[in-house]
Copies of this chain bind each other. A is one copy, B any other.
Amino acid sequence: MAENAPAPIRMRGAGYYSEHTAGAKRVIDAAIPLVLGAIGRMDLSASAAPFAIADYGAADGGTSIALHHALIAELRSKTGRPITITHTDLPHNDFSSLFRLLHGLLPGRESLGLADLPGVFSFASGTSFHRRIFPDGTVSLGFSATAMHWLSRLPATLAEHVHAVGAEGAALAAFRAQAAADWNTILLARARELAPGGRLVLANFCIDADGHYLGWTGGRNMHATFATHWRGLRAAGAITAEEERRATFPQFYRSPAEFSAPFEDAASEVRRAGLRLEDCFTRVTACPYAEAFRVGQPAAEFARAYVPTLRSWSESMFAGALDPARPETERAAIIDRFYAAYEADVAAAPEGHGMDYVHCFMTIAKDV
């Protein structure tokens, strides 16, 4: 699940790992029919060049590897063209886990390697999807899951909240404008990279028609809970007003209308670059932690399992908001206190907590 993937879990059984990524993997598994459908609409004999797959913002590759195996099997039933797979993410990504996975060296997951598949060549890129990653016309099929809500920059800081879902007025407008600009840039970069007739299948966090988004599908709001406990640190004198304000995710959950906007005007840059939208729908994927609680897990256990998964993708933002002049042990203690407060909250009143995924699935085609 891209930049906000759970950190690699060490020293625990495979079941623990699977539980942590079950939700993200379910999202991607739901994209498999879209990817196979896209292949079905492509003329695979139009080129003898390698069939190039890109996985944008792939993190450690674990949640999409089943999709790639399904995709390769489908391609192999239809064409003998060599296949390349390039996993991309930011330079500080855990490429070490990615390479171990791809080369069948990840303990317990050896069979998921791609290295022994004939005619399949795997690569990685450390270039952000906010930039050009591949030369013109060299990508056959691009895929990305749960990555493009990360903006290229933080357009505003929020004193009263930690996420754009809680922004208002000028701050919200700044986030919205940044998200629109980034989306345009992302699409124009992909338009250059895609080969004629190529496809892009995306599963991005969104705000759906019910106003739901990651961590809010009618119960307790995850981002509001973050904000409450972060403000609590300020109220307790543990952090400064500046630290309170700085804690803001450089993220935006676009609506389906915002995702679709660049495709609606035939004169838009994106349409003129040759992209058209084939398919767009939203889907909620239930939080596996909340599910376990609903079927009888004790509240304290739920809290103890659930909060670390939030921490795995949110901690670096909160830690980064603290004054770097504080000693590292002091910063660590503040962050521990923050997540302990969240965990105590969940344990005391577990009902409604959870992190359901809300995604917008899109298939985009490049003109032949």
| A positions within 8 Å CB-CB of B | 50, 82, 84, 86, 91-93, 95-96, 99-100, 102-103, 105, 115, 119, 121-127, 131-136, 138
> Do the beta carbons of A103 and B124 come within 8 Å of each other?
no
Among A91, A93, A135, the one with the most B-chain Cβ atoms within 10 Å of its Cβ is A91
Residues of B within 8 A of A126 (CB): 99, 102-103, 122, 124
> Do the beta carbons of A84 and B127 come within 8 Å of each other?
no
> Would you give the shortest CB distance from A276 to chain B, in whole angstroms?
25
Partner of A95, one of B96, B119, B134: B96
Residue of B nearest to A115 (CB): B127
Top 10 closest pairs, chain A to chain B, by CB: A99-B126, A82-B135, A91-B99, A91-B103, A95-B95, A50-B135, A123-B123, A124-B124, A123-B125, A91-B100
Copies in the complex: 2
| Cα A131 to Cα B119 with chains together (Å) | 12
With contacts A50-B138, A123-B123, A126-B122 taken as known, whether A91 is within 8 angstroms of B86 at the C-beta atoms is no
Known: A84-B135, A115-B131. 7 other contacts (CB 8 A): A92-B99, A92-B105, A95-B99, A119-B135, A121-B132, A121-B133, A124-B125
| Cα A173 to Cα B127 with chains together (Å) | 46
| Cα A153 to Cα B136 with chains together (Å) | 40
| Cα A216 to Cα B134 with chains together (Å) | 45
Partner of A135, one of B99, B115, B121, B134: B121
CB pairs A–B below 8 angstroms (6 shown):
A82-B135, A91-B99, A96-B96, A102-B126, A115-B131, A124-B124
Residues of B within 8 A of A119 (CB): 135
Residues of B within 8 A of A105 (CB): 91-92
Residue of B nearest to A193 (CB): B121
With contacts A91-B103, A95-B95, A100-B91 taken as known, whether A121 is within 8 angstroms of B115 at the C-beta atoms is no
Among A84, A102, A103, A121, the one with the most B-chain Cβ atoms within 10 Å of its Cβ is A121
| Cα A105 to Cα B123 with chains together (Å) | 21
| Cα A92 to Cα B96 with chains together (Å) | 7
| Cα A91 to Cα B123 with chains together (Å) | 11
| Cα A8 to Cα B127 with chains together (Å) | 22
Residues of B within 8 A of A121 (CB): 125, 127, 132-135
